[in-house]
Amino acid sequence: MINVAAIRMQQFGVQFYQASLTARDIDKLVRFEVLSYGGQSQSPTRGTHRPRRTRINWDLLERRIASNEGAYQRQIIRRKIEELIAYYEQCRQARDLPSIPGAVIISCDERLTFVPVGGADSRVGTLKVPEREGLLRAIDGQHRLLALHGDIEQFGEEHFSVPAIIFDDLPEDHIVQMFVTINAKHTRLNASHLVTLSGRQLYRDENLATAHDVVRTLNDREDSPLAGDIKLLGVGHGHVAQAPLAQELKRLFASDAFGGPRKAEDFKEEARGFFLNYFKQVAQLFNAAWNGRKYSIKTATALRAFIRVAPDVVRRLDQEHADRTDHRAIARVIAPWGRRIGDLRFETDAMWNRAGTSVESLAKELRLALQYPEGAAAM
């Protein structure tokens, strides 16, 4: 058990502690983790690795960082860690500034014992923290603490204290909400990261959670025409952000476009298979645009329009008593788009820009093509 001098605080019925932890305590007790999707191979750090300019052992540091679906932190930024370690070293050598003057915010997975000094009502006392590796998680300050971990061997026997705000036994959704509140505005937390947190952990919105499953399928499956094209968690090599697609799908699942809540629930069970085969057929139908550089068919605007008309495609499949995930049936239903829309509609410097294409305008064209496959005048 580690005994830590602490001040017991209270705000709106929530009790927490202001404490001083040593660098060695931090290094042992805090676990570092970043949010990732299950089964997805993703480095916990991002940024260019420059081995000639840094003495950081990134292999060792990355092994200290876990990636899992239950986390809420973003990928670690290598450059930020390098800059912090360089700053710590300047402070250590110059000895005229503290390197971590502000408190980091930490949560503990279990209830801690506080022993007040001078009576039960005293705010000053000793906080007893079990000496167990990975007991604590960083809500705010993970980069600062990782930099401390990367530089701690340079400290020798020098006493080093880290100011910390410690919460114990908070519900998981409260912790995530605090993280979002701290980071959404001040550090410009990426919209895609917010969508992931709100869908999976903060409010557990089933429609948004299903939307994430669809987006992950489209991005992660090797046979998907959008494999690697979606920027998950706000990072990666993709060209289309996850957030607008997830929000479009969420609105679709929450609407009555499928003919009622029961039918919408039934569709959600088939959504991943449907959208995977749906976009496969869209990619084949508009092959030149899909694989060309001068087209806008794989932009968020176009992809959202295709998502928006999905209920129209599903209704046609139902009318034909076809399996909603049957790629051949989907191809038959959307075939009029090839005749009435065509690849040239998506050429960026031509029809796409001249028409001032929006999600709704393109969706309207797609619906009309389904409704009047032979080009009859709209009524």
pLDDT score recorded for residue 373:
79
- Residue 258 neighbours by CB under 8 Å, 6+ apart: 264, 266, 267, 311, 314
Per-residue pLDDT of 124-151, as tens digits, reads 999 998 888 878 888 787 788 778 877 7
pLDDT for the residue numbered 51: 45
Residue 16 in contact with residue 211, Cβ under 8 Å?
no
Whether 104 and 145 have beta carbons less than 8 Å apart is answered as: yes
CA pair distance 304, 134, nearest whole angstrom: 42
pLDDT given at position 258: 78
Report residues of the chain scoring pLDDT below 70: 32-77, 94, 155-156, 173, 177, 179-204, 233-237, 375-379
Q: Count of CB atoms within 10 A of residue 143's CB?
A: 19
CB 147 within 8 A of CB 81: yes
**Dist CA 345 CA 358 (whole Å):** 13
- Distance from C-alpha of 175 to C-alpha of 86, rounded to nearest angstrom: 30
DSSP labels, 104-135: EEEEESSPPEEEESSSTT-SEEEEEE---TT-
Average pLDDT, the chain: 80
Asked whether the whole model's pTM tops 0.85, one would answer no
Q: Could you list the beta-strand ranges (E) of the chain.
A: 2-11, 14-22, 30-35, 45-46, 65-68, 76-77, 104-108, 113-116, 124-129, 136-140, 161-168, 230-231, 240-241
Closest CA to 151 of 104, 89, 216, 102: 89
Contacts of 216 (CB under 8 A, 6+ apart): 37, 40, 232
Instruction: Name the residue with tokens 């699942």.
Output: 253
pLDDT in tens, 58-106: 555 556 565 555 555 556 667 777 888 888 887 777 677 788 888 888 8
According to DSSP H, which parts of 11-138 are helical? Answer: 23-29, 58-63, 78-94
Q: If we measure between CA atoms, which residue out of 332, 313, 321, 325 comes closest to residue 277?
A: 325
